[in-house]
């Protein structure tokens, strides 16, 4: 062991180009704003495991920020007909989703007895109130109106959510891409009220079926459809892991934010964002 440490020191000393004087230059920590990030874990109790609870949710919010960054750019790219650029962004969304899913595995190390020690400190605060998660739902096309009242306390966030609520989802712009490719899409869909959750349409179903039956002819649209299915698949896996983790820690208690907890999380598992892309798997 001593020899290994000595060898390591020798190797480090041989790296003559390593910069050590940062009196006038930006450091790694300054670039990332680590002082602000690492000082943001403020426990409201003296319980050891509250640190885990805070960090898991903060990390998840950071991953959601990246998902929104990529989803927003992908929607814009699809609107411009730049599908290949969108594919890269959507692939990154899927990879990011795998990371956010694994966060539940870490949180599940929290036992019911441990959580009860600091749960009351949360008051009515709840992950149910995550505005970034609502933005992701809106970007995917699930437009719940009543939920907006939660965010009236912060006018900036509320306005951002209202704009996203009325904007076309990634599925809306994908349907528009089908129309641009020459498919006879119901014209009412192309300029519909995007604040309403999309419920399906026979012309969209017929278009996607044609795409899947003629993959070589419509490769880009086929690839787009599969990227969308990837994202919905991973989101549903995230929802499932969320539901099971909550059940494991608090059972069927009411959530701190007033939701029915596990029962609510089970209900949302039944929602589909891109119905025609799932239905055609049976019909092909």
Q: Is 56 annotated as a binding residue?
A: yes
Annotated binding residue at 53?
A: yes
The reply to whether 256 sits in an annotated binding site is: yes
Cβ contacts of 98 within 8 Å, gap of 6 or more: 234
User: Is 158 annotated among the ligand-binding residues?
Assistant: no
Measured CA to CA, the distance from residue 53 to residue 47 in angstroms comes to 11
Buried b / exposed e along 250-276 (16+ C-beta atoms within 10 A): beeeebbbeeebbeebeeeeebebbbb
Contacts of 49 (CB under 8 A, 6+ apart): 110, 114, 115, 117, 118
Has 115 been labeled as part of a binding site?
A: yes
Q: Exposed, middle or buried, 57 (CB in 10 Å: 0-12/13-18/19+)? A: middle
Is 248 annotated to bind a ligand? Reply is: no
Distance of CA 180 to the CA centre of its chain: 28
Q: Which residue has the tokens 């712009």?
A: 173
57 is in an annotated binding site: yes
Q: Which residues are annotated as a binding site for heme?
A: 242
Q: Which residues are annotated as a binding site?
A: 53-57, 115, 119, 242, 256
Q: Which residues are annotated as a binding site for substrate?
A: 53-57, 115, 119, 256
């Amino acid at each position: 062991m001593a020899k290994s440490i000595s060898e390591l020191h020798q190797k480090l000393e041989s790296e003559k180009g390593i910069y050590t004087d940062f009196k006038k230059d930006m450091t790694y920590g300054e670039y990332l704003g680590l002082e602000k990030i690492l000082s943001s874990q403020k426990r409201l109790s003296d319980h050891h495991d509250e640190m885990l609870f805070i960090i898991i949710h903060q990390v998840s919010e950071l991953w959601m920020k990246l998902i929104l960054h990529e989803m927003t750019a992908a929607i814009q790219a699809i609107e411009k007909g730049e599908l290949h650029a969108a594919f890269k962004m959507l692939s990154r969304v899927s990879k990011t989703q795998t990371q956010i899913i694994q966060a539940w595995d870490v949180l599940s190390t929290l036992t019911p007895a441990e959580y009860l020690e600091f749960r009351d400190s949360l008051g009515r605060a709840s992950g149910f109130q995550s505005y970034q998660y609502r933005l992701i739902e809106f970007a995917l096309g699930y437009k719940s109106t009543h939920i907006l009242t939660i965010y009236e306390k912060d006018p900036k966030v509320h306005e951002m959510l209202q704009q996203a609520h009325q904007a076309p989802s990634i599925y809306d712009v994908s349907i528009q891409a089908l129309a641009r490719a020459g498919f006879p899409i119901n014209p009412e869909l192309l300029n519909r009220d995007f604040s309403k959750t999309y419920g399906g349409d026979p012309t969209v179903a017929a278009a996607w079926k044609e795409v899947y039956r003629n993959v070589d002819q419509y490769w880009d649209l086929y690839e787009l459809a599969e990227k969308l299915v990837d994202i919905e698949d991973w989101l549903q896996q995230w929802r499932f892991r969320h539901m099971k983790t909550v059940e494991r820690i608090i059972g069927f208690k009411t959530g701190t934010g007033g939701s029915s907890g596990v029962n609510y999380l089970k209900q949302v598992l039944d929602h589909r964002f891109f119905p025609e892309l799932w239905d055609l798997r049976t019909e092909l």
